[in-house]
Amino acid sequence: MNAPKALFIVTVFALIGLFIVPSRANADLQLLKPLPSDPATFVGTGGYSADGLGQDGTGGTVQAEIPAGSTVVQAYLYASYFFNEAPSLADLTLNFDGTDVVLTQVPNESLAFLTAARADVTTQVATKVGGGGGITDFAINTDPPSMDGVALVVIYSNPSLPVTTIAVLDGGASQAGDTATFTFAAPLDKTVPGFSAIMSLGIGFGYQGVDGHVCGGGQFSTVDVNGTRLASCAGNYDDGFAANGGLITVGGVGDSILNPTDPNATTSPGGDDDELYNLEPLLVQGAPSVTVATANPSADDIIFLAVIAITAEASVTTEICDDGIDNDGDGFIDGDDSDCVGPPAPGTMTGGGVIGNKLATHGFTIWCDPTAGTSSLQVNWNKGKGRFHLTSLDTAVCTDDGTIDPGTPLADFDTFTGTGTGRYNNVPGATIEFTFTDAGEPGRDDISRILIKNAGGVTVLEIEGTVKGNHQAHP
């Protein structure tokens, strides 16, 4: 963002960071979808841009960074308000790059005195950006007294980019915590060219007492990915200034995904936070889904925006399937919500045989839920000179590949992808990565892929091929 220099800076009130209002009933960020039937905000070859601005006066700019060869397909202008539960028409009317735009307040039941609003500005942004190729500025020529700042989110398609699912979630996040779950159409493949997993947060009324991306404590939010902490000090006024009317931060243009360097830090430098995050290190290869959770433990600012983009085809939901609450606002709760109805829990795969034309043999009984039973896997090769014995099945993902028919018995899966640890030639500390498929009887089309490394990380076996034997998936 580019803000004009203020003629004066409003005195920072003692209220900043200390005005706490009890939370109302549960409120969640809601998934923004062009059509109710859409699986997410956007699924296709493309990406997004986000930026924020808090200014004392008018004439500052928010920016859109769009690569060449792109087409803008969605664009949204947001505003974050403080001490204003119901912004007036005058408050909601912003002059956006020379055009008056009327925003609509988005649902928020977290903190009554903090609100947000949104307007669709796709046509205006698309006209100015054209085919992209750099950064485009949009002037904000209105600054209502109760507005902390604005955010601009632009989604674009680009045929040169991989398929990506983008979720825009907006409203007023529950201080106790919100979640968004991506369920992938196929097991997550982090090896596809151009893979990325990025998240932006937009936070209003955030104050940590120190300018910039540093972590000053006080008002803060957290981010977790599949239960693992990603950030502990989100917030502050990175895109504004230290006074009511400028307390806003939005991760995006000009920010870095390298922060925070310590996800558990609540002070600088380890806790430095741009509100722009790289989720990739916390995503598991082959995973069927990922859940991202935000919370505001200090209960005194508003996460009004979250944008998550992952290189994969997925559906997204904000429903939590065991809390007795209609989190996603569709009128259905927990098991009655289609988002919570998944395939029956799969069981086991058994089998073995010779792999390909190499003298490698394997035999196994493995569980889709590693905690449900004892898994065994033995691999022998090089006329018995190489031997691997599984001692722990560490991860297991059972999926249904629509191109494979496992025949009978009727299992809910035909592909087993797993990792584990064990002994290589009786030396512990070896690791294995494997994929086994069941393509029906008599087993000649079943496939095995195996990678084994010794305790030192050196590859001792890498093999892939059809099986002279049989794999069998069991319900």
Query: Going by C-beta distance under 8 Å and a sequence separation of 6 or more, which residues neighbour residue 130?
Result: none
Mean pLDDT in the chain? 86
Name the amino acid, one letter, at 185.
Answer: A
Query: Going by C-beta distance under 8 Å and a sequence separation of 6 or more, which residues neighbour residue 47?
Result: 67, 155, 156, 158, 161, 164, 166, 309
Q: How is 378-442 classified by DSSP, letter by letter?
A: EEEETTTTEEEEEEEEEEEEEE--TT----SS--S-SEEEEEEEEEETTEEEEEEEEEEE---TT
Distance (Å, whole) CA 330 – CA 80: 25
Residue 465 bridge partners (DSSP): 448
pLDDT band at 14 (very low <50, low <70, confident <90, very high): very low
Distance (Å, whole) CA 313 – CA 4: 41
- Is residue 113 over pLDDT 90? no
Q: How is 337-385 classified by DSSP, letter by letter?
A: SGGG--PPPP-EEEEEEEETTSSEEEEEEEESSTTTS--EEEEEETTTT
Q: Which residue has the higher pLDDT, 270 or 365?
A: 365
pLDDT band at 51 (very low <50, low <70, confident <90, very high): very high
pLDDT tens digits along 349-397: 888 888 876 678 888 989 998 887 888 999 998 887 899 999 999 999 9
Residue 104 bridge partners (DSSP): 118
Per-residue model confidence (pLDDT) at position 360? 86
Per-residue model confidence (pLDDT) at position 5? 29
Distance (Å, whole) CA 259 – CA 241: 21
Mean pLDDT of 96-106: 96
Q: Is 163 helix (H, G, I), strand (E, B) or coil?
A: strand
Per-residue model confidence (pLDDT) at position 462? 93
Distance (Å, whole) CA 123 – CA 472: 54
Nearest to 4 by CA among 360, 248, 308, 246: 246
- Is residue 412 over pLDDT 70? yes
Q: Which residue has the higher pLDDT, 117 or 441?
A: 117
Per-residue model confidence (pLDDT) at position 282? 93
Distance linking the first and last C-alpha atoms of the chain: 55
HSE-up of residue 104 (Cα within 13 Å, Cβ side):
7
Poorest-confidence range of 15-19, 37-41, 79-83, 182-186? 15-19
Q: Which residue has the higher pLDDT, 311 or 273?
A: 311
Pairing of strands 197-204, 248-250: antiparallel
Nearest to 232 by CA among 270, 204, 203: 270
Q: Is 14 helix (H, G, I), strand (E, B) or coil?
A: coil
Decide if 180 contacts 281 (C-beta within 8 A).
no
Would you give the DSSP letter of residue 282? G
> Domain spans of the chain?
30-340, 348-474
pTM of the model: 0.69
Angle at 52 between CA 320 and CA 259, to 5 degrees: 70
List of E strands, 227-381: 228-234, 248-250, 276-278, 289-295, 302-310, 314-317, 348-355, 360-367, 376-381
pLDDT tens digits along 303-347: 999 999 999 999 998 877 777 777 777 667 766 666 765 544 458
3-state helix, strand, coil in the chain (%, to 5): 5, 45, 50
Mean pLDDT of 89-112: 90
Decide if 6 contacts 198 (C-beta within 8 A).
no
